[in-house]
């Protein structure tokens, strides 16, 4: 990254040591809650649910993942609801690097992207050289998108330049692949630290900022997502540059998904209501969204067993 120079240039990371706006915890939680109470009309609900499918990074990140499971997940991302072709594909599937080539092959010729976690996901507890090698391999296997984890220990001990440098190096290792920066907000301790980590993730080159790995509780919450959306908004006002957002972990119901879409619309406007700028990272959300879509279409709930398991 760019280091301080003798001509007085102040690098981005110096700004983070100087402070970010502090977050009013009560206000942010109240606002997130009040937006959850918005009622949504039937037409908007169906459109919102279809959008949620289109924005989904359908995820499997388990030690027991297999080629069969990854192929089944890809088929599901390609044709989420056989009975209703108006429901389009998911945005991406998200897997460990070992399964990128399998997924790439299964999705060949389709618009569904392959996202790979990397950088010693989920802990990030490896030397930087190994993390970068993890990224380069995933890209070589065909990953379109890389979901990296930040160094939470460095973040919590105020080593902001280290956090920045690792993200910037990861961005470089991504080449043309898009970079999502996972903050693991459940380990950051306060909204102020979430705000600062979001600013660093954006300034260091993240195309998206993402709440969580799904391996730590609490994972995505509406309030933490709101703090991150507001950081994206402030960055956009300051620079005109649009950064994406991905709540991930624990988003399981259609109702939650619609709530997140209201948060996005109210904070960033309609421009962000696109898979290019908003994703859900979720392993179990899709079936509930499909169940609600079928309920809206037929008037009846179908048993969850009627929907294929991921």
Site residues, ligand G3H (CB under 6 A)? 59, 61, 94, 213-214, 219, 248-250, 281-284
**C-beta of 30 vs 62, nearer to ligand G3H:** 62
Residue 14: CB atoms within 10 A of its CB come to 13
Residue in the structure block whose two tokens are 């649910």: 49
Alpha-carbon distance 35 to 271, whole Å? Answer: 19
Measured from the CB atom, is 23 or 52 closer to ligand G3H? 52
- The CA distances from residue 34 to 28, 268, 272, in Å, are 10, 17, 20
Minimum Å gap between C-beta 5 and ligand G3H is 38
Residue in 171, 210, 288, 310 annotated catalytic: 210
**246 has catalytic annotation:** yes
Least distance (Å) between residue 217 CB and ligand G3H: 9
Q: Report the nearest approach of ligand G3H to the CB of residue 211 (Å).
A: 9
Q: How many CB atoms are located within 10 Å of the residue 47 CB?
A: 14
Query: What stretches of 12-120 adopt beta strand conformation (E)?
Result: 56-59, 92-95, 113-117
Structure tokens at 47: 């459109």
Identified catalytic residue from 147, 165, 207, 288: 147
Taking the complex as a whole, the smallest distance from the CB of residue 117 to ligand G3H amounts, in Å, to: 7
Please say which residue, 212 or 267, places its beta carbon nearer to ligand G3H: 212
Q: Assign residue 19 a region: left if phi > 0, alpha if psi is -120 to 50, beta otherwise? A: left
**Cα angle 265-270-273, degrees, rounded to a multiple of 5:** 80
User: Active site residue: 50, 246, 288, 310, which one?
Assistant: 246
- Residue 11 has a CB neighbour count (10 Å cut-off) of 14
Residue with the shortest CB distance to ligand G3H: 214
Our CB check for ligand G3H shows the closer of 161 and 286 to be 286
Report the phi/psi class of residue 303: left, alpha or beta, with left for phi > 0 and alpha for psi in -120 to 50: beta
In the complex, minimum distance from the CB of residue 220 to ligand G3H, in angstroms, rounded to a whole number: 8
Q: Which is nearer to ligand G3H, 93 or 155 (CB)?
A: 93
Q: Which residues are catalytic?
A: 147, 210, 246
């Amino acid at each position: 990254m760019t280091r301080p120079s003798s001509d007085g240039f102040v690098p981005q990371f110096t700004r983070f040591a100087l402070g970010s706006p502090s977050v009013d915890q009560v206000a942010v939680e109240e606002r997130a809650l009040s937006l959850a109470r918005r009622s949504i009309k039937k037409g908007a609900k169906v459109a919102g649910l279809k959008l949620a499918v289109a924005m989904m990074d359908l995820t499997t990140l388990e030690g027991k993942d297999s080629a069969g499971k990854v192929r089944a997940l890809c088929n599901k991302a390609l044709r989420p609801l056989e009975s209703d072709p108006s429901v389009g594909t998911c945005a991406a599937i998200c897997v460990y690097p070992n399964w990128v080539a399998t997924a790439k092959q299964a999705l060949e010729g389709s618009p569904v992207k392959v996202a790979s976690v990397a950088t010693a996901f989920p802990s990030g507890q490896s030397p930087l050289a190994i993390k970068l090698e993890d990224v380069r391999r995933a890209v070589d296997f065909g990953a379109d998108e890389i979901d990296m984890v930040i160094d939470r220990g460095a973040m919590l001990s105020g080593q902001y330049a280290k956090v920045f440098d690792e993200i910037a190096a990861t961005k470089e290792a991504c080449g043309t692949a898009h970079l999502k920066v996972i903050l693991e907000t459940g380990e950051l301790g306060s909204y102020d630290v979430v705000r600062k980590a979001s600013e660093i993730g954006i300034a260091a080159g993240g195309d998206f900022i993402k709440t969580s790995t799904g391996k730590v509780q609490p994972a995505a919450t509406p309030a933490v997502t709101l703090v991150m959306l507001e950081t994206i908004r402030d960055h956009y006002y300051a620079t005109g540059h649009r950064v994406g957002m991905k709540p991930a972990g624990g988003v399981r119901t259609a109702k939650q998904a619609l709530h997140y879409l209201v948060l996005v619309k109210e904070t960033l406007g309609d421009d962000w209501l696109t898979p290019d700028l908003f994703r859900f990272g979720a392993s179990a959300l899709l079936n509930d969204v499909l169940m609600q879509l079928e309920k809206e279409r037929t008037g009846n709930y179908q048993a969850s067993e009627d929907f294929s398991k991921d």
